[in-house]
Structure 1
């Protein structure tokens, strides 16, 4: 990522030009001034993006490195966009959140992970409060806490993890190709994805919502998007929703959610559609943006795994049973208070698990 200086002397990340079809001329003319103003007011998103990229290269193992029990694979090139699934009511299967019954029994996948001595987890490192880098360089967040609980249950140590940062659109390929054992990355359970991967029971409930600058004329997922440049992450349910019903918006697709926030800071897009749980973390990073309108979907996050790893699915569901247990003192509640109490009020308990026969 190149670094350039604005006329005011502030550093800003240089991003590819966003799609501008249909954008109002006034918005185009105001773009440079708006970008400088936002960078003055916050000044950290672009720097954070660059810092995350440098840290990832030094600390996280590359996604294409060989996973335990898999053959060497070539380096991953620019991620391809996953085929968009219809948005809510999206699902044609019954009870997509219903997973396999929990079990503490070992199986071939568990034995392979134990033999390797590490759980290989696909995570985010750019989503504040979910998976991100602390100032001391360590990964932190709600999803990271859950990864640690899974590793402790299977391997006896919460630090027995190889973290691999993956973009949104690479979550499914990473599992199918054996580059990771689990993906814990704010991944919505839906029928389309169940064709390719297996999911645990739900561990968090969210909904798609619009994030826009304070003072914007955008009022939500509605006609106020007409002519606006709206950013989504490639392969996300937000991207699918915008494709299904755009309200006249010009869609801009990027690999990761943080890229959307950077572009919003630079004035290259007018708004973002993403899970409100992710957007709350972005709003906590930048007080000049806010969630607008109401959530227009109801979605549940699950731990994703390979479809053939039924023993691991059952084991993760067992971990989640214990993770939810204990009410306000449960590990789930402790992690929620740590990360979300001040930025995402109103969800003080996890969704109830659903199981299917078999």
Structure 2
């Protein structure tokens, strides 16, 4: 598969480029094959522009992950709260949330369009692809009998929770970490992937990881991300809290790094690996410093939908190396995140 990624510039012009294309020399003396700025917009038929509403007290331009602003629940460990990744047991029963989706005839899914191999638009085909997109299709097939009965809404990191709370989407499948603060505002499936926060920086950078080598360095994160919360708790002297270093979409950080406007990125290692695969001038530094679990998010109280998604996940992981989960992993993630044998073991609270 030819490696490509896509984003949109601040002027709204869509750009895409092969990772192996001709390199450009950027400020700072290092080279990059791709330069683009990402923003949430419709890139293909079936991907709807998500309005940026002011809902439930969330300002679209300032929203961050709810909670106290500390690392409570960040690593998803039991001692920090009551097992945030524990979900409801699977069920195929229809409830009001599932009935509404069936009545509408479409599943409305909040996704990413800029994360290579997770949720991104393939410029060669004009379609959304990736590991999270495969999972959305499986959910649509379970509920509606057709994986194509999906309305995709491209949403920035900071709008995942507001989109669910306002009813603009039924689900969010967008590398969304389950943690103690978020389960107060939305409901999650059980975990379908394990990740961790890590540092991304140029190959020749003196930055070695999440440590004192960040001191005085400009670090970019996405609004509403666990990476941003981590730096609020312990920044090692990094400069990260200026508006230009906190962006709506995580891909914007990559562009700032390529342009020399920041020195490093902190993000999920799963996303960092995909970005490093696109640009040989950057690499993941150090080791993951958190343990996090991705879940499919729904509106709080939509228990029947949570149970139905968990039913999908149960089937999705069955079959060992031939399971749908492993098939999707082999296609999208194995090259950059090798040696995985399946999703995390599910945890349930009832």
Scaled by the length of structure 2, the TM-score of the pair is 0.85
Q: Could you tell me how far 1:45 is from its partner in structure 2? A: 3.2
1:123 to 111, 132, 147: 111
Distance 1:85 1:172, change over 3 A: farther
- What is the distance in 2 between the residues matched to 1:78 and 1:343? 33
Question: 2:293 aligned with 1:316, yes or no?
Answer: no
What does 1:214-293 correspond to in 2, within 5 Å?
214-251=203-240, 252-293=245-286
Q: Does 1:113 find its partner at 2:101?
A: yes
Contact 1:336 1:348 survives alignment (8 Å):
no
- Does residue 336 (structure 1) correspond to residue 319 (structure 2)? The answer is no
Deviation at 1:58, TM superposition (A): 6.6
In the alignment of these two chains, the number of paired residues is 319
Shift of 1:63: 1.4
Establish whether residue 81 from structure 1 lines up as the match of residue 71 from structure 2. Answer: no
Secondary structure in 2 matching 1:163: strand
CA distance in 1 between counterparts of 2:133 and 2:224 reads: 21
Higher helix share: 1
Paired with 1:277 and 1:300, the residues of 2 have a C-alpha distance of 11
Deviation of residue 176 (structure 1)? 0.5
Q: After superposition, what is the alpha-carbon deviation per residue over 1:243-296, rounded to whole angstroms, capped at 9, x for unaligned?
A: 100100000211111000000000000000000000001011111111111100
Shift of 1:348: 2.6
Residues 175-230 of structure 1: CA distance to partner in whole angstroms, max 9, x if unpaired? 01000000000000011000000000000000000001001100000000000001
Conservation of the 8 A alpha-carbon contact between 1:207 and 1:275: yes
Unaligned 5+ runs, structure 2: 1-8, 16-23
Aligned residue number for residue 23 of structure 1: none
Instruction: Please say which structure displays the higher CA radius of gyration.
Output: 1
Q: Match for residue 49 of structure 2? A: 62
Query: Are the equivalent residues in 1 in contact too, given 2:113–2:128 (CA < 8 A)?
Result: yes
Displacement of 1:231 in angstroms is: 0.6
1:1-358 pair list within 5 angstroms? 1=9, 34-35=26-27, 37-38=29-30, 41-46=31-36, 49=37, 56=43, 60-64=47-51, 77-83=60-66, 84-86=69-71, 88-89=74-75, 92-134=80-122, 135-251=124-240, 252-357=245-350
User: CA-to-partner distance for each residue in 1:22-64, whole Å, 9 max, x for gaps?
Assistant: xxxxxxxxxx9742754xx433231xx46x7675387521213
**Higher mean C-alpha displacement, 87-96 vs 292-301:** 87-96
Query: Given the two structures, how large is their TM-score scaled by the length of structure 1?
Result: 0.83
1:65-112 Cα deviation digits (max 9, x unpaired)? 99xxxxxx9xx9535233434164566321111100000011111110
Any conservation in 2 of the 1:203–1:350 contact (CA below 8 Å)? yes
Could you list the per-position Cα deviations for residues 142-188 of structure 1 after superposition, in whole angstroms to 9, with x for gaps in the alignment?
A: 00000000000000000100000111111011001000000000000
Partners of 2:88 and 2:307 within 8 A in 1: yes
